[in-house]
């Protein structure tokens, strides 16, 4: 397929995600100005760019290169296939800068505890610092996770970098999300249900049963982009 055909499909993917070209570039960790050059044909659609889109967004490589098949790759039930878009980082405690600078904001709260709504979760009074390192999108919010339902992928006390999904209908099936319901918050794989009005929330720990919920009951949805392990970090529990 020609370079122009690949550009058309990438633009279709941007439209499908409901985000701007600049936001798309951030999502795949590429410089926005260079990405613009790819889309105008000044730079070719390289194998490296294609692989970034495939890995970060769960897009079918066959569709992206040839136009054949579905836009998004089907996900396997195995852990490695399901969360291969997530980077797990081990950082020293000094990686958290007390001041809010250019990186992602770190919030002093346990995202799985309590029942604060989104309007109270991400307020300035709960910010304890920021992390500015490669591979963490500065537009993400960083929060703590407790419990063992997602171990060994996400362990008790780990932190996660999460990004809001503005259109809850654009779910990447099989990826890990923070799901906010009216009275409950949890970190789970979101799986496709045979009923299009429902979804399945699945734990990594097989001791936990699947949870089936109505799509309309999801108040907010955040995709997990990074798992962060930091020693000697004390966070406020809300």
1 pLDDT exceeds 80?
no
Query: What pLDDT score does 75 carry?
Result: 40
Taking alpha carbons only, the member of 32, 162, 166 closest to residue 110 is 162
Element (H, E) at 210: none
Q: How far apart are CA 230 and CA 235, in angstroms?
A: 12
pLDDT tens per residue, range 115-135: 555 556 788 888 999 998 878
In this predicted structure, the answer to whether residue 235 has a pLDDT above a threshold of 50 is no
Region 94-110: what's the mean pLDDT?
85
Q: 144 forms bridges with which residues in the sheet?
A: 110, 159
What are the pLDDT digits (tens) for 213-231? 999 999 889 999 999 987 6
Summarised one tens digit per residue, pLDDT across range 15-70 is 877 788 998 898 888 899 999 999 999 999 998 898 888 877 778 888 899 888 88
Fold of 3-66: 434 Repressor (Amino-terminal Domain) (1.10.260)
Q: Quick check: bond before 152 cis, omega within 30?
A: yes
Residues 6+ apart with CB under 8 A from 67: 1, 5, 9
**Pairwise CA distance, residues 19 & 176, whole Å:** 20
Residues 144 and 106: beta-carbon distance below 8 Å: no
The verdict on pTM exceeding 0.95 is no
Residue 125: CB partners within 8 Å, gap ≥ 6?
A: none
Where along the chain do its domains lie?
Answer: 3-66, 79-230
Using one digit for the tens of pLDDT, what is the confidence trace for 163-213?
A: 988 777 778 788 899 999 887 889 999 998 889 899 999 999 999 999 999
Which CATH entry fits the domain spanning 79-230: 3.40.47.10, 2.60.40.420, 3.10.129.10, 2.10.109.10? 2.10.109.10
């Amino acid at each position: 397929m020609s370079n122009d055909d690949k550009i058309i499909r990438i633009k279709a993917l941007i439209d499908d995600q409901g985000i701007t070209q600049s936001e798309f570039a951030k999502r795949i960790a590429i410089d926005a100005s260079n990405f613009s050059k790819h889309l105008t044909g000044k730079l070719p659609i390289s194998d490296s760019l294609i692989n970034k889109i495939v890995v970060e967004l769960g897009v079918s490589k066959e569709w992206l290169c040839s136009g054949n098949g579905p836009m998004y790759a089907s996900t396997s039930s195995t852990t490695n296939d399901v969360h291969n878009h997530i980077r797990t980082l081990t950082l020293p405690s000094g990686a958290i800068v007390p001041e809010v600078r250019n990186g992602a904001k770190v919030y002093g709260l346990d995202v799985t505890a309590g029942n604060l709504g989104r309007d109270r979760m991400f307020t300035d009074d709960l910010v304890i610092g920021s992390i500015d390192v490669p591979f963490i999108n500065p537009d993400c919010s960083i929060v703590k996770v407790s419990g063992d339902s997602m171990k060994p992928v996400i362990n008790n006390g780990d932190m996660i970098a999460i990004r809001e999904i503005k259109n809850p209908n654009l779910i990447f099936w099989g990826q890990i999300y923070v799901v906010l319901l009216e009275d409950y918050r949890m970190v789970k794989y979101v799986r496709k249900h045979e009923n299009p009005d429902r979804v399945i929330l699945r734990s990594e720990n097989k001791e936990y049963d699947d949870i089936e919920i109505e799509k309309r009951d999801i108040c907010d949805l955040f995709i997990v982009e990074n798992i962060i392990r930091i020693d000697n970090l004390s966070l406020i529990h809300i």
